[in-house]
Chain A
Amino acid sequence: MSFQGKKNNPRVTSDKLIIKGGKIVNDDQSFYADIYIEDGTIKQIGENLIVPTGVKTVDAYGHIVIPGGIDVNTCLQAPHLGMTPADDFYHGTRAALAGGTTMIIDHAVPEPGASLLAAYDQWRDTADKRSCCDYSLHIDITRWHDGLFEELESLVKDKGVNSFLIFMAYKDKYQSSDTQIYEMFSAMRELGAIAQVHAENGDIIEEEQNKLLDLGITGPEGHVLSHPEEVETEAVYRAITIAKQANCPLYITKVMSKAAADVIAKARKKGMVIYGEPIAAGLGADGSHYWSKDWAKAAAFVMSPPLSPDTSTPDYLSSLLSCGDLQLTASAHCTFTTAQKAVGKDNFTLIPEGTNGIEERMSIVWDKAVATGKMDENDFVAVTSTNAAKIFNLYPRKGRIAVGSDADIVIWNTKETKVFSAKSHNLTVEVNIFEGMECRGYPVVVISQGRIVLEDGKLNVTEGSGRFIPRKAYPDFVFKRIKARGRMADARGVPRGNYDGPVHDVISMTKSVPATPTTRGPSCPGKTPVGPGRNLHQSGFTLSGTQMDDHIPRRTAQKIVAPPGGRSNITSLS
């Protein structure tokens, strides 16, 4: 396929279109009907539509008509060591459209400590100018502090952002501690936002990286050796535990290994509200390439979490995707040229992370899951578009072919195959990790905002035509259950009479053992750090004078202070 003409012929198509003869496939049903599009939205669906004259007709006979794909994980502008990705918003969205994806949600990555709002503005600015398809933004929280809550609130309420990414990896850079993660989860539940998690144990990774470098392993295989599956699995498990405590829905980005996917599947069976997102690379390739003798090829696969060296992983992930244990696919598209990757030629920890996949994603899912009979065409629509729209509150504007929805439509050829290659792809990078892969299923016509952008193998995109799509908080798909649980889950204390038995006298005892508690703060193991004797002062009894039950012998020889009134029945030992 060759594409000519980037900006030279904008808006050749009319605003009015009719798609005829195709089988419309939504996530819940398939049916034959025509679609009439006007002003970027779907106006009519049905047979024998009455439409104005002069409408361009798109022929979809023999193909299926599906809602345009939504790629919820791209990094088209996030810099790494000062290098911007090779595919920016223009090239990235152009490739997305070529692959049948009509909307992306990009990650805005502020530098640690910087304002989230500023990053949002910066990303909006660039994307508005460069993007060729509709887009929305996730904001990554690179360093959590209390003041950030207000920024989150204003992003959620005023800026139309309802999802934030939290890092459990990238130690000393983006990584958050468990306490911080808990606080963030609580904040997001309150705001009705989706907590996304990059799940890898950054502490272990750093130690492993140092160990491997010491061993003299500097090539890309060090990347996968220092990011073993277990480290991903552990972090997923921990994220789930924390989310359960905070009663917060959880979204795991980039599920790359079997074990991590299993942990998610199990948690779902236990009733957790959790979503897992495998990516194009994880579904279409495996990690054996890290051991390639060609450095450039091996480095092209570097991403975190890494592709699993287990070659049965892609199959396994597509099976879980088919049965609903994983819910949606993304691409995590973040490309660097070989020269950029080569910054880490002597040290794998410096290789910028990211693979391509934005263009190949839908075809890979079709080829691996639908063509093999694992899922049907409706499931295909669900995992490539509808579920994403539901989770991120874009539904039914996006992710569905229905009257009133945006006219983001793909006419999909289900029979023929296409070969991926760096020579023919729409990206600027020299290596395509899917090089030579033959995939069944590809888009023949792509309609974005009611305009044809791909037809007869020709891309016809307009830079800057993409709109920012704001998203509201509390997506029903995610938060309905959470709200109900919040009401049910209140723990209750046991109504008891006040304990009025003897209380061990801490103050007098600390005198006899002077070294222990006073100098080093709390010596009670693991309790909330409060002064050791704090609560004694709140109790209403006095230490002075004899007490009326002083004569009662105790088994221990320690000094006992009892409240006036003596022991009551409530503490009697039976």
Chain B
Amino acid sequence: MSDCRRQWNREDELPVYLAKPISAGPNQRHKSHGMFSSVEGAYDSKTIDFDQYAVGRKGNRSSRSSSRERVVDGDFEAYEISGGTISSPGERDDGRQVTCRYSKECKMSRFMLIQVGENLIVPGGVKVIEANGCKVIPGGIDVNTCLHKPYLGTPPVDDFYQGTKAALAGGTTMIIDHVTPQPGDSLLEAFEKWQEAADKKSCCDYSLHVDIPHWHEGVKEELEQLVQEKGMNSFQVYMAYKGLFQMTDSQLYEAFSFLKELGAVVLVHAENGDLIAQEQSKILGMGITGPEGHPLSRPEELEAEAVFRAITLGNRVNCPVYITKVMSKSAADTVTNARKKGSVVFGEPITASLATDGSHYWSKNWAKAAAYVTSPPLSPDPTTPDHLHSLLACGDLQVVGSGHCAYSTSQKAIGKDNFTLIPEGTNGVEERMGFVWDKAVAMGKMDENQFVAVTSTNAAKIFNLYPRKGRIAVGSDADIVIWDPDKIKTITTKAQQSALEYNIFEGMECRGGPVYVVSQGRIVFEEGKLQVQQGTGRFISRKPFPDIAYQRIKYRNKQGVSRGMYDGPVYDIPATPKYITPAPSAKTSPTTHQPPPIRNLHQSNFSLSGAQIDDNIPRRSGHRIVAPPGGRSNITSLG
């Protein structure tokens, strides 16, 4: 990140974000006062000290938020936030919301926002939080966590308690976790298992995605039940993990079609599993067993290819597609190009891909290298995080997840002699919002409204939680974060909430962080101190057919073409074609029923028997011709 900052020093050059392809996005905001003025307050309280950004001087920044005063009184049940800027996307149009920094106050009760306005009249005994100079934003929504996904029977070290604690400490007030049943398991049972674990342990509101490990007819019923009775609207399918979760294109097509009917969002883990399996055995055969084998066996192209294929499938089925974990530039570009062509596709970069790169896989420290192992892997290209931020800023990528799935070093060490056995997953639930602010907003790539959109609002819209979550409005849940844009924090394992002993962001400095976090109307994080309670998190059910994904889908449908019946001669094909034994290819779905290739011949309504009235008409070829009664009509005349 210091590299990028250094660019500011050279005034004759364009800033990096101008040189990047962020300018063509459909959602790009028009900025009326030049590049920097729209990011209100981004520089108000800081002087850009160019010396600080010079080579070798990194890390000398002092915290500027220490002198701020806060008045906190009143009871716990209801309190008031005053003096902050409320950032919420969509309110950009009137302009005032952004420029009036001291005018908004809001009051909330136990769970719900009651009033938002200026000079609120509130009952006595209300706790007042002074948000002076800070932003008041909707709590973050992290749509991709795996807090209960077992690896070889052992759970990750961050369970629902540890994980949601870390989430709250980072300003995230809701998570959507992945239910990962094994092939053959019942989806419903797995869902209930996860729900039970989360109800006991979760400290913030949560919802669940269900991963479909294996596609077969029986799954359909369960899916229907999950959508209609359990409040689920998102399911993940895999294009990777050959021999385990991977689905063939036919199965994907069926799954897409079925999920579209249900109005669910299809999440796709996009990597070409067939090729990965080949590459893995090749690389193991070369004697490479360390973590560097992981990115070597999963090159960027395989991710981009699968993204491309998933989008093609989505277009054919006319179904929205959500790509989880966009890790490489080429995959992100594929999503961008598809969006430009009108596909309904969403892309989700994760904390790790936004803040670090894959060069660490080659670290001499095995434990460090293994900590970065996740799929798709981090791209070794160091310009990747910048590029992904640019696309996020212009709206080509929409949501930031974390992909948080924490395994301890000893768990990772199961794969010490074989990189394919290293459990996959990195941390990021706590650092997610901070890095987006640091790398996008503080850099001037993104404004604060877009920040709220990518960390919270878009996720709420795609997964149909809006406007209950993802917005500060009367009637919305009181999940609110008071965000200090100038707070500077160094990420270390010691200071983190996660139980992990290795943080992949170790030592990185991050500007911007939460001062207060309000979850369900209660202050859970206050100036560095967490006050959470296990089991307070509620399961938030979600309805199908989210508008942002499905409105366009509903308008796109296909129509046929009409023509007179062909009534000319028909070649008499031999009764049983010898060579076409329908051979099931390896891509065959066991569930598709396979019609024999000549199936429809018997359904045609003409007869081969007897002489026909046009038998005497000579033909150019020597084949036997059977013509229907009535002879040739004009419809087949040539010319």
User: Contact at B603–A346, with CB atoms within 8 Å?
Assistant: yes
Q: Does A175 sit at the interface, judged by CB under 8 A?
A: yes
Contact assessment for A499 and B288 in the assembled complex, using a CB-CB cutoff below 8 Å = no
Chain A: CB-nearest residue to B564: A293
Known contacts A143-B583, A241-B272; is A502 also within 8 Å of B570 by CB? no
Contact in complex: B408, A231 (CB < 8 Å): no
A555 touches B277 (CB 8 A): no
Instruction: Judge whether B501 and A504 touch: CB under 8 Å.
Output: no
| A236-278 contacts to B (CB < 8 Å) | 237-238, 241-242, 244-245
B153 and A506 contacting across the interface, CB-CB below 8 Å: yes
A504 CB contacts on chain B under 8 angstroms: 154, 408, 410-414
Q: Is B568 an interface residue (CB 8 A)?
A: yes
Residues of B within 8 A of A525 (CB): 151, 180, 241, 244-245, 424
Query: With A179-B278, A345-B566 in contact, do A516 and B150 touch (Cβ < 8 Å)?
Result: yes
Is the CB of B639 closer than 8 A to any CB of chain A? yes
Which B residues between 269 and 323 are near A, CB-CB below 8 angstroms?
272-281, 283-284, 286-290, 292-293, 296, 299, 301-302, 304-305, 308-309, 312-313, 315-316
In the complex, per-residue mask of B186-197: 1 if CB is within 8 Å of any chain A CB, else 0: 000000000000
Q: Which of B31-39, B246-254, B387-395 contacts A (4 or more CB under 8 A)?
A: B246-254
Quick check: which of B56-64, B516-524, B531-539, B618-626 contacts chain A, the rest being far away?
B618-626
B571 touches A526 (CB 8 A): no
Interface size class of B (residues with CB under 8 A): 35 or more
A570 touches B416 (CB 8 A): no
Interface status of B123 (Cβ within 8 A of chain A): no
B423 and A524: CB pair below 8 A? yes
Residues 564-575 of B, flagged 1 when their CB comes within 8 A of A and 0 if not, give 101011110110
A417 at the interface (CB under 8 A from B): no
Pick the interface stretch among B86-94, B166-174, B586-594. B586-594
Q: Is the CB of B623 within 8 A of A340?
A: yes
Counting CB contacts under 8 A, is A420 at the interface? no
Nearest Cβ distance between residue B398 and chain A, in whole angstroms?
A: 22
* Interface-central residue, B246, B417, B493, B635, by most chain A CB under 10 Å: B417
From B296, B414, B635, contact of A491 by CB (8 A): B296
A111 near B280: Cβ-Cβ < 8 Å: no
Shortest distance in angstroms between B122's beta carbon and chain A's nearest beta carbon?
A: 44
Shortest B331–chain A CB gap in Å is: 12
Say yes or no for B555: interface residue by CB 8 A criterion: no
Task: Kindly identify, within residues 484 to 528 of chain A, every residue whose CB is under 8 Å from any CB belonging to chain B.
Answer: 490-494, 496-499, 501-504, 506, 509-510, 512-513, 516-517, 520, 522-528
A509 vs chain B, min Cβ distance (A): 5
Is the Cβ of A180 less than 8 Å from the Cβ of B278? no
Chain B residues whose CB sits within 8 angstroms of the CB of A346 once the complex forms: 600, 603-604
Instruction: Name which of B365, B499, B579, B600 has the most chain A CB atoms within 10 A of its CB.
Output: B579
The answer to the question of A294 belonging to the interface, with a C-beta cut-off of 8 Å to chain B, is yes
Determine, out of A54-62, A214-222, A401-409, the stretch whose residues face the partner at the interface. Answer: A214-222
Bound together, the chains give a CA A228 to CA B416 distance in angstroms of 47
Q: Is A422 an interface residue (CB 8 A)?
A: yes
B95 on the A face (CB < 8 A)? no
Confirm or deny: B184 has a beta carbon within 8 angstroms of a beta carbon on chain A. Answer: yes
Contact A83 B571 (CB under 8 A): yes
A376 at the interface (CB under 8 A from B): no
Q: Known: A83-B573, A491-B288, A504-B414. Contact between A342 and B581, CB under 8 A?
A: no
With A204-B249, A428-B620, A573-B502: A555-B408 Cβ-Cβ less than 8 Å: yes
Closest to A206 in B: B250
What is the CB-to-nearest-CB distance from B218 to chain A, in angstroms, rounded to a whole number?
16
Q: Is the CB of A494 within 8 A of B316?
A: no
Q: Is A435 an interface residue (CB 8 A)?
A: yes
> What number of A residues sit within 8 Å (CB to CB) of B?
118
- Name A490's closest neighbour in chain B (CB-CB): B286
The residue in chain A whose Cβ has the minimal distance to the Cβ of B249 is: A203
**B225 CB–A CB distance under 8 Å:** no
**Residue B6 at the chain A interface, CB threshold 8 Å:** no
Least CB distance from B152 to A in Å reads 5
A342 and B570 in contact (CB under 8 A), knowing A221-B561, A494-B292, A538-B417? yes
Q: How far is the CB of B536 from chain A (nearest CB, A)?
A: 23
B138-171 interface code vs A (CB 8 A; 1 in, 0 out):
0000000000001111100100000000000000
- Give the shortest distance, in Å, between B281 (CB) and chain A (any CB): 7
State which of A173, A336, A347, A501 has its C-beta within 8 Å of the C-beta of B583.
A173
With an 8 A cutoff between CB atoms, is B182 at the interface? yes
Q: How far is the CB of A113 from chain B (nearest CB, A)?
A: 6
Do A494 and B410 touch across chains, with their CB atoms under 8 A apart? no
Whether the Cβ atoms of A496 and B366 lie closer than 8 Å is yes
Give the residues from 497 to 521 in chain B that come closer than 8 angstroms, CB to CB, to chain A: 499, 501-502, 506
CA distance A525 to B242 in the complex (A): 9
Q: Is the interface of B mostly helix, strand, loop or mixed?
A: loop
Distance between Cα atoms of A428 and B623 in the complex (Å): 12
CA distance A570 to B409 in the complex (A): 13
Please tell me which stretch of A96-104, A384-392, A451-459, A529-537 contacts chain B, meaning at least 4 of its Cβ atoms lie within 8 angstroms of it. A529-537
Q: Kindly provide the distance from the CB of B612 to the nearest chain A CB, expressed in whole angstroms.
A: 13
Contact string, A412-455, partner B, CB cutoff 8 A, digits 1/0? 00000000001000001111000100000000000000000000
Q: A338 to B152, Cβ gap below 8 A?
A: no
Instruction: Please determine whether A342 and B569 come into contact, CB atoms closer than 8 angstroms.
Output: yes
**A525-574 interface (Cβ within 8 A of B):** 525-530, 532-533, 535-536, 538-539, 554-556, 558, 560, 570-574
Contact A528 B290 (CB under 8 A): no
Q: Mark contacts of B86-127 with chain A using CB atoms, 8 A cut-off: 1 yes-contact digit, 0 otherwise.
A: 000000000000000000000000000000000000000000
Q: Assess whether A230 is interfacial by the CB under 8 Å rule.
A: yes
Q: Is A295 interfacial (CB-CB < 8 Å)?
A: yes
A340 → B minimal CB distance (Å): 4
B182–A523 touching, CB < 8 Å: yes
A570 touches B365 (CB 8 A): yes
Question: Chain A 284-303, CB within 8 Å of chain B: the 1/0 string?
Answer: 00000001011111100000
Checking A215, A217, A228, A499 against B413 with a beta-carbon cut-off of 8 angstroms, the contacting residue is A499
How far is B274's CA from A526's CA once the two chains are assembled, in angstroms? Answer: 10
Is residue B585 within 8 Å, beta carbon to beta carbon, of the partner chain?
Answer: yes
Query: Which chain B residues border A242 with CB–CB below 8 Å?
Result: 272, 275
- Chain B nearest Cβ from A110, distance in angstroms: 9
Question: Please, how many angstroms separate the alpha-carbon atoms of A88 and B577 in the complex?
Answer: 19
| Residue with the greatest number of chain A CB neighbours at <10 A, chosen from B289, B410, B586 | B410
CB distance from A571 to the nearest CB of B (A): 5
Once A143-B583, A201-B312, A573-B368 are accepted as A-B contacts, the answer to whether A526 and B240 lie under 8 Å apart by CB is yes
CB distance from B65 to the nearest CB of A (A): 29
With A and B bound together, what is the CA distance between A438 and B638 in angstroms?
18
Q: In the bound complex, do residue A350 and residue B417 qualify as a contact, i.e. CB atoms below 8 Å apart?
A: no
On chain B, the residues within 8 Å of A230 by CB distance are: 312, 315-316
CA distance A114 to B243 in the complex (A): 28
Q: How far is the CB of B243 from chain A (nearest CB, A)?
A: 5
Cβ of A339: which chain B residues have Cβ within 8 Å of it? Answer: 568-571, 619, 621, 623, 625
Residues of A near B594 (CB, < 8 A) are 172
B597 interface contact, C-beta 8 A: yes
A–B Cβ pairs within 8 angstroms, 9 of them: A79-B579, A82-B579, A173-B597, A180-B586, A231-B316, A237-B308, A340-B623, A522-B243, A533-B152
8 closest A-B pairs by CB: A526-B241, A203-B249, A178-B274, A111-B579, A177-B586, A493-B288, A295-B566, A513-B153
Q: A293-B564, A498-B416, A571-B409 are in contact. List 20 more A-B contacts (CB 8 A).
A: A111-B578, A173-B583, A177-B274, A182-B275, A201-B309, A203-B248, A203-B250, A215-B560, A244-B301, A296-B636, A337-B623, A339-B625, A435-B638, A499-B413, A502-B409, A513-B153, A526-B245, A530-B421, A555-B157, A560-B410
Chain A residues packing against B (C-beta within 8 Å): 79, 81-83, 86, 111-114, 143, 171-173, 175-180, 182-183, 201-204, 206-208, 212, 215-217, 219, 221, 225, 228, 230-231, 233-234, 237-238, 241-242, 244-245, 291, 293-298, 336-343, 345-347, 349-350, 422, 428-431, 435, 490-494, 496-499, 501-504, 506, 509-510, 512-513, 516-517, 520, 522-530, 532-533, 535-536, 538-539, 554-556, 558, 560, 570-574
